[in-house]
């Protein structure tokens, strides 16, 4: 059972984060000023509102939504973060944050959500991911309910998601505050480590097949911002990495999650046990997978944790 759960978890992570999405055309140029007039005065969108989602589709929203169904846990987190959580009436079986979401009606998983369960919640809008199911989403749209696809692939796209959600739900000011808070935290962490020697890092997604996080993943971006060098950046996306190459790269640090492996397992594995990271006892287990894999505002917590693992001297 433990192995089955582990493999399902890895499948979900890899499936959700490896698909390439079209960047949202709602990206705002320039930095958001926390002291600007727009940050002081809430600007309500005028409906009907036209939004271009992450699939490049123009979606018309006829009225401000008061009943929201979210089919992506990361989007759910952002909806709550900007203060619109009270309007959420349906989420996926995988939603578990914030804690209050556990009492919200469940309408299915990432793939193949239950259309009947969604419609039973009488939503004004559905926020989907690119895994939500084309046929199911078309059925919902034909009933007159707008479907907006949001699923960020990098930190800048998390900001884009927040901007879109803020505009649609009438929480632009709070959305800007969340973005500013994220940017401030990222700058604070990066300023502490940017001038320190880069630490060579290997991230273990799954020891079964030696899966890792290559270029273009959130984890690769976080390692870089945390003052590290992802030794698997020569691989694209979520990839199987040869043990021979891992030994050759000889990482200073190995990071993994509790779902992927434990420190003792890695210490005794052929190949891994010969790396500098294992010999120096530099194996770190991320406290929560969600803070390095879900594209939400909590990604900064993952960044801080990785930075402290790589450069503990900078956080004393």
Rounded average pLDDT over 175-200:
98
How many helices (H) does the chain have, and how many strands (E)? Answer: 13, 12
CA gap 300, 226 in Å, rounded: 10
Of 219-233, 255-269, 295-309, the least confident: 255-269
Enter the tokens of residue 94. 């995988």
CA gap 112, 75 in Å, rounded: 17
**Which residue segments constitute the domains of the chain, with CATH numbers given?**
22-27+39-185 (3.40.50.1980), 196-315 (3.40.50.1980)
For 100-147, write each residue's pLDDT tens digit: 999 999 999 877 789 999 999 999 999 999 889 899 999 999 999 999
pLDDT at 162 over 50: yes
CA gap 54, 208 in Å, rounded: 33
Three-state DSSP class for residue 125: strand
DSSP state of 91: B
Mean pLDDT of the chain: 89
pLDDT for 62 equals: 96
42 vs 67, higher pLDDT: 67
Q: Which residue has the tokens 């043990």?
A: 243
Enter the tokens of residue 5. 């759960």
pLDDT for 31 equals: 39
The candidate with the shortest Cα–Cα distance to 158, out of 305, 9, 17, is 17
pLDDT at 192 over 50: yes
**CA angle 39–83–171, rounded 5-degree value:** 40
pLDDT for 261 equals: 84
pTM for the structure as a whole: 0.86
Cis peptide upstream of residue 225 (ω within 30 degrees of 0): no
Q: How far is CA 139 from CA 128, 144, 145, in A?
A: 13, 9, 9
- pLDDT level of residue 259 (50, 70, 90 thresholds): confident
What are phi and psi for residue 134, nearest 5 degrees?
Answer: -60, -50
pLDDT for 109 equals: 83
pLDDT at 3 over 70: no
């Amino acid at each position: 059972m433990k192995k089955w759960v582990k493999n399902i978890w890895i499948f979900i992570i890899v499936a959700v984060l490896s698909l390439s999405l079209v960047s949202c055309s709602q990206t705002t140029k320039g930095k958001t000023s926390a002291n600007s007039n727009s940050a002081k005065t809430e600007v309500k969108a005028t409906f009907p509102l036209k939004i271009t989602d992450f699939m490049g589709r123009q979606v018309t929203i006829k009225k401000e939504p008061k009943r929201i169904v979210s089919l992506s846990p990361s989007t759910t987190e952002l909806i709550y973060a900007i203060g619109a959580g009270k309007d959420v009436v349906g989420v996926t079986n995988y939603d578990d944050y914030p804690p209050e979401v556990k009492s919200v009606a469940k309408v299915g998983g990432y793939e193949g959500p239950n259309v009947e369960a969604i419609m039973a919640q009488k939503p004004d809008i559905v926020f989907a991911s690119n895994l939500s199911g084309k046929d199911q989403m078309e059925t919902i749209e034909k009933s007159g309910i707008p479907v907006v696809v949001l699923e960020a692939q990098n930190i800048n796209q998390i900001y884009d998601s927040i901007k879109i959600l803020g505009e649609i739900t009438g929480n632009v000011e709070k959305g800007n505050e969340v973005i500013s808070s994220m940017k401030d935290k990222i700058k604070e962490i990066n300023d502490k480590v940017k001038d320190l020697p880069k630490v060579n890092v290997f991230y273990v997604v799954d020891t079964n097949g030696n899966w890792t996080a290559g270029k273009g993943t959130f984890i690769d971006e976080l390692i870089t911002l945390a003052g590290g060098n992802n030794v698997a950046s020569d691989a694209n996306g979520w990839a199987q990495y040869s043990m021979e190459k891992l030994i050759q790269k000889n990482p200073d640090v190995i990071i993994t999650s509790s779902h992927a492996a434990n420190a003792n397992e890695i210490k005794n594995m052929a190949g891994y046990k010969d790396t500098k990271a294992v010999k120096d006892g530099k194996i770190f287990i991320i406290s929560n997978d969600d803070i390095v894999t879900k594209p939400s505002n909590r990604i900064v917590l993952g960044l801080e944790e990785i930075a402290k693992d790589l450069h503990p001297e900078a956080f004393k």
